């Protein structure tokens, strides 16, 4: 989908100066191309403004001077709200159209499976009763989807994956912009979900699609039941997540991270390779790899144990 910039700005009540160029999507300042829009809402990203390749940026008047001359300034004091309104232009068209998939050899597909359009299956794919596979989905060879798995449009699943009953891949991330009157405006989630090879996901998990770009679960990662992975998360290879783990948006986990039951992360942080987070641990800032953490906020477990011992002595002596 491509729109003239003037089509978009007219709909969201903005003016601009510059050429009426074609726009085909939205992305971050660092990732946007010369045919995409971007946005600036946080001063910590100001250093990215001079280097963005975006065609145009929603931005406040104060920071316009930092944009390169090739980028059109869309001046507004509600950049995030204008992003939300614009995201609808590029949303996938939801419908009930169904087509027969392109199917590899020796697949086993239950009669109750429902397909959207442009679905591709590899060899020996098994889809059990009640599975739904949306538009533009790819499922590679030897992958098994248990009953009532839902795969939203644009999802990519690798080889030798297992997805257990009731899990949803590619549902919308929890993203809203807010008006000055306190109303909540949906940010359409126009990215995708990618499962690399040999990933296993337990029952009743929710893996949210990206706002733009990808939510990605890398090779060999295993998820227990009842896990939430929010939009734009990146889970490193061979990571293990126990039941009821919750990852907030744009969390990046390194390779071989282990998270105990009911542990969780705040958004936009990184957890280093070979990190272990004990059950119920709450990660509120980025963590160095190769260590074990516990508590809320999560700290190195040796320190956490000392704190617990001191607290116990205080209680006993009270």
pLDDT at residue 318 tops 80: no
Q: Is residue 274, in this structure, part of any structural domain at all?
A: yes
Same domain, residue pair 63 and 166: no
User: Residues 235-260: pLDDT tens digits?
Assistant: 999 999 999 999 999 999 999 999 99
Last residue of a domain, one of 90, 107, 129: 90
pLDDT for 130 equals 98
Per the domain annotation, does 112 fall within a domain? Answer: no
Q: Which of 90, 110, 125 is the last residue of a domain?
A: 90
**Residue 1 confidence class, pLDDT cut points 50, 70, 90:** confident
231 part of the active site: yes
Question: Are residues 254 and 157 part of one domain?
Answer: yes
- Assigned domain for 125 exists: no
Q: Are residues 190 and 289 in the same domain?
A: yes
When the pLDDT of each residue in the chain is averaged and rounded to a whole number, the result is: 96
**Is residue 71 in some structural domain?**
yes
pLDDT in the model for residue 291 = 98
Specify if 143 maps to a domain: no
- 167 and 80 in one domain? no
The CATH number for 19's domain is: 3.40.1390.10
Q: Say if residue 206 is in the same domain as residue 80.
A: no
The per-residue pLDDT for 315 is 85
Q: Check whether residue 272 and residue 193 sit in a common domain.
A: yes
Q: What is the CATH number of the domain that holds 244?
A: 2.160.10.10
Task: Answer yes or no: is 293 within a domain.
Answer: yes
**Active-site entry in 231, 238, 268, 318:** 231
Q: Which two tokens stand for residue 97?
A: 């159209």
| Residue 114 is assigned to a structural domain of this protein | no
Where is the domain boundary, 90, 122, 138? 90
pLDDT band at 21 (very low <50, low <70, confident <90, very high): very high
Inter-residue contact 123 to 109 (CB < 8 Å) = no
3-state secondary structure the chain: CCEEHHHHHHHCCCCCCCCCCEECEECCCCCCCCCEEEECCCHHHHHHHHHCCCCEEEECHHHHHHCCCCCEEEECCCHHHHHHHHHHHHCCCCCCCCCCCECCCCCEECCCCEECCCCEECCCCEECCCCEECCCCEECCCCEECCCCEECCCCEECCCCEECCCCEEEECCCCEEECCCCCEEECCCCCEEEECCCCEECCCCEEECCCCCEEEECCCCEECCCCEECCCCEECCCCEECCCCEECCCCEECCCCEECCCCEECCCCEECCCCEECCCCEECCCECCCCEEECCCCEEHHHHHHHHHHHHHHHHHC
Contact 54, 33 (CB under 8 A): yes
> Which tokens sit at 22?
């074609």
Domain count, the chain: 2
Q: Are residues 206 and 86 in the same domain?
A: no
Structural domain harbouring 254: 153-302
State both tokens at 36.
Answer: 């995409």
Q: How many CA atoms lie within 13 A of 183 on its CB side?
A: 7
Q: Is residue 16 part of a domain?
A: yes
201/295 same-domain check: yes
Q: Which pLDDT value is given to residue 317?
A: 77
Identify whether residues 216 and 296 lie together within a single domain: yes
């Amino acid at each position: 989908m491509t729109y003239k910039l003037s089509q978009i700005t007219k709909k969201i009540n903005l003016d601009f100066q510059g050429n009426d160029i074609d726009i085909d999507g939205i992305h971050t300042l660092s990732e946007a191309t010369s045919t995409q829009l971007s946005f600036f809402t946080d001063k910590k990203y100001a250093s990215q403004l001079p280097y963005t390749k975006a065609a145009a940026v929603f931005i406040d008047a104060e920071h316009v001077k930092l944009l390169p001359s090739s980028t059109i300034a869309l001046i507004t004091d509600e950049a995030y709200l204008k992003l939300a309104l614009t995201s609808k232009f590029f949303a996938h068209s939801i419908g009930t159209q169904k087509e027969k998939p392109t199917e590899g050899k020796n697949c086993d597909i239950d009669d109750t499976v429902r397909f959207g359009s442009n679905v591709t299956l590899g060899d020996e794919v098994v889809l059990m009763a009640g599975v739904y596979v949306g538009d533009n989905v790819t499922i590679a060879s030897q992958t098994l989807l248990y009953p009532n798995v839902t795969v939203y449009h644009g999802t990519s699943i690798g080889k030798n994956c297992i997805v257990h009953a009731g899990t949803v891949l590619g549902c919308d991330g929890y993203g809203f912009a807010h008006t000055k009157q306190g109303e909540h405006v949906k940010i359409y989630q126009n990215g995708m979900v990618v499962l690399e090879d040999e990933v296993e996901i337990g029952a009743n998990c929710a893996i949210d699609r990206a706002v733009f770009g990808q939510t990605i679960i890398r090779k060999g990662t295993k998820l227990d039941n009842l896990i939430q992975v929010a939009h734009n998360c990146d889970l490193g290879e061979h990571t293990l997540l126990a039941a009821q783990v919750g990852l907030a948006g744009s969390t990046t986990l390194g390779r071989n991270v282990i998270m105990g039951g009911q542990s969780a992360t705040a958004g936009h942080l990184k957890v280093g390779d070979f990190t272990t987070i004990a059950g119920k641990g709450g990660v509120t800032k980025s963590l160095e790899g190769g260590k074990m953490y516990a508590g809320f906020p999560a700290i190195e477990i040796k320190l956490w144990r000392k704190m617990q011992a001191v607290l116990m002595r205080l209680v006993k002596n009270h």
